[in-house]
Amino acid sequence: MEAGKIIDFRSLSEAVGKFHIGRKKVLLPAMNRISAHLLAGTFRAFGIEALVLATYGGLDLGKQYTSGKECYPCQVTLGDVLAFIRGERERLGRAFHPEDYIYFMPESDGPCRFGLYNKFQRLVLDSIPGLDRLKICSLTTQDGYSLAGLLEEERVTDFKKAGFLAVVAGDILDRLVWRVRPYEREPGATDAFAEGALHRLAASLETWGAGGNYEPVLAELDEILAEAKDLIDPQLPPKPLIGMVGEIFLRMHRESNQDLIRLLEKYGAEVENASMAEWVNYVSYERLREARKHLTLHLRLLHFTQLRTCLRDILDFGLNLLFQEATQKKIYRRTRRVLDLAEDHRIAHLEKILDRSEVFSFDVRTEACLSIGGILQCAAGGYNGVVNVYPFTCMPSITTSAIVKPLLNERQLPYLDAHYVGSFQPGREAALSTFLYQARQHFGRHGRKRRAETRNRPEGLFP
Ligand code: SF4
């Protein structure tokens, strides 16, 4: 940021928040390329122009405007939006109007720094002439990523449903790649197929997403899965299964994690990463949990006036979570009739695992709840190793690492911390190949999870 420039902090409330999108072009960060494009298709279904920002080409710009103390995903996403703006300025010249765009950067409340990305990025945009007119649209975990205010009221529910469908469909496409690629008959066939499948699904969401009838989208997904099945060489024996957890941006953003899944596959693994829907469901689950806690508190204190709000919140967040989990279950069940993809877990299931283990609690919050719960689930569920992927200095992931390392040591389950900050670490490949060697040994001794099993089976690690 320009030294000596007076910062107007009013823009943090006036130009970051929920704004009616209207005819603006929505700029979506490509945290997960597949989900971002499916969401862009969903936006277009509702008549909103949406663009997925090209990613990682602007990292130098991101670094130029940060001090190095920020979380790595903040640098990456800042670089992406700045590079896009620079490109648009060059392309459009005087016809470039920052107010024609709206940049999406959600947030979460404490204790970690994700709640500050959009504020920090606001200050950077404000420091560049004209970019104070480019608004940052922020969905917040405080209201469970409610979309109210972004669209006309009567379209909000339909958009939310279609958006969640896009998230789950994106997870299924990801899982398709992780399931098929390690066993493909022809090298490179899965990646080429997945690229085409992404465009087919995005087009289907664009055509059908706004109408409330999602059957054509699901039928397209069925066809994609059936075609993908043919890419598998059934003669190839199963490989060691690695579970991946960690900070959502790093584990989803292939450029930032230096294509870790592909690298693990190169060393002979099959990998299952945690999903996007996991985070969306966690946000709803956490809000419901908070609303229940408030209800108990107000009942104890006899604050009867607040009870109505608490009950309304419980109903809203509860119905939301119920809808999401039911939708997800239905889609996975349908999917698994065609291809044996791993099912996703329920957040309540992870909380139960944590409670039983007594090593961490949902009361502490952050992604550590999901990562520690997910790792314990892998330990009990027939995985041959676990990787925790995160940005260097990420607080919840370091907590996760400190807690699970001794537990997994005791259980002799291979574990790897994979942290990234943009530089290439000379020992990375050696660490990965050693980890995979241990995972193969584990696989040789214990076998692995059968494909038909779901991730919601009862756990045996901490009886
Ligand atoms: S989860 Fe980690 S990387 Fe993400 S904001 Fe929090 S501390 Fe930063």
Segment 82-102, tens digit of pLDDT: 999 999 999 999 999 999 999
CA atoms within 13 A on the CB side of 281: 26
> Which segments of 230-346 does DSSP mark as H helices, in order?
248-252, 260-266, 277-300, 304-336
* Predicted confidence pLDDT, tens digits, the chain (463 residues): 555 566 678 899 889 999 999 999 999 999 999 999 999 999 999 999 999 999 999 999 999 999 989 999 999 999 999 999 999 999 999 999 999 999 999 988 767 788 889 999 999 999 999 999 999 999 888 888 888 889 999 999 999 999 999 999 999 999 999 999 999 999 999 999 999 999 999 999 999 999 899 999 999 999 999 999 999 999 999 999 999 999 999 999 999 999 999 999 999 999 999 999 999 999 999 999 999 999 999 999 988 889 999 999 999 999 999 999 999 999 999 999 999 999 999 999 999 999 999 999 999 999 999 999 999 999 999 999 999 999 999 999 999 999 999 999 999 999 999 999 998 888 888 999 999 999 999 999 999 998 854 444 433 332 2
Q: How many CB atoms lie within 10 A of CB 200?
A: 14
For the chain, domains (ranges, CATH) are 11-143 (3.40.50), 158-237 (no CATH)
Question: Atom 7, ligand 1: which residue's CA is nearest?
Answer: 394
* Short-list 361, 351, 33, 307, CA closest to 197: 33
Choose one of 66, 76, 112 to mutate for the ligand 1 pocket test, by most ligand atoms within 8 angstroms of C-beta.
112
**437 CA to middle of ligand 1, Å?**
30
Asked whether the beta carbons of 53 and 28 are under 8 A apart, the reply is: yes
| 34-38 CB contacts, 8 Å cutoff, 24+ apart | 34/170, 34/173, 34/174, 34/194, 34/198, 35/166, 35/167, 35/170, 35/171, 35/252, 35/276, 37/198, 37/199, 37/202, 38/166, 38/167, 38/169, 38/170, 38/198, 38/201, 38/202, 38/205
The answer to whether the CB of 107 is under 6 A from ligand 1 is no
Q: What ligand 1 atom has the least distance to the C-alpha of 395?
A: 7
104 strand-pairing partners:
137
- Which residues, 6 or more positions from 333, have their beta carbon under 8 angstroms from its beta carbon? none
* Short-list 218, 257, 231, 13, CA closest to 135: 13
The answer to whether the CB of 113 is under 6 A from ligand 1 is yes
The answer to whether the CB of 421 is under 6 A from ligand 1 is no
pLDDT at 456: 46
Residue 302 phi, psi dihedral angles, 5° rounding: 55, 40
- Which residues, 6 or more positions from 272, have their beta carbon under 8 angstroms from its beta carbon? 175, 178, 241, 242, 243, 244, 342, 383
Asked whether the beta carbons of 249 and 73 are under 8 A apart, the reply is: yes
Structure tokens at 69: 């103390």
Q: Where does residue 423 rank: exposed (0-12), middle (13-18), buried (19+ CB within 10 A)?
A: exposed
Q: How far apart are CA 204 and CA 313, in angstroms?
A: 34
Q: How far apart are CA 71 and CA 261, in angstroms?
A: 22
The answer to whether the CB of 367 is under 6 A from ligand 1 is yes
pLDDT at 235: 97
The answer to whether the CB of 71 is under 6 A from ligand 1 is yes
Asked whether the beta carbons of 360 and 368 are under 8 A apart, the reply is: yes
Question: Atom 4, ligand 1: which residue's CA is nearest?
Answer: 114
Question: Atom 2, ligand 1: which residue's CA is nearest?
Answer: 394
251 strand-pairing partners:
none
The answer to whether the CB of 76 is under 6 A from ligand 1 is no
3-state secondary structure of 338: coil
Asked whether the beta carbons of 393 and 447 are under 8 A apart, the reply is: no
pLDDT at 10: 85
DSSP state letter for 138? -
SS3 content of the chain, % helix, strand, coil (to 5): 55, 10, 35
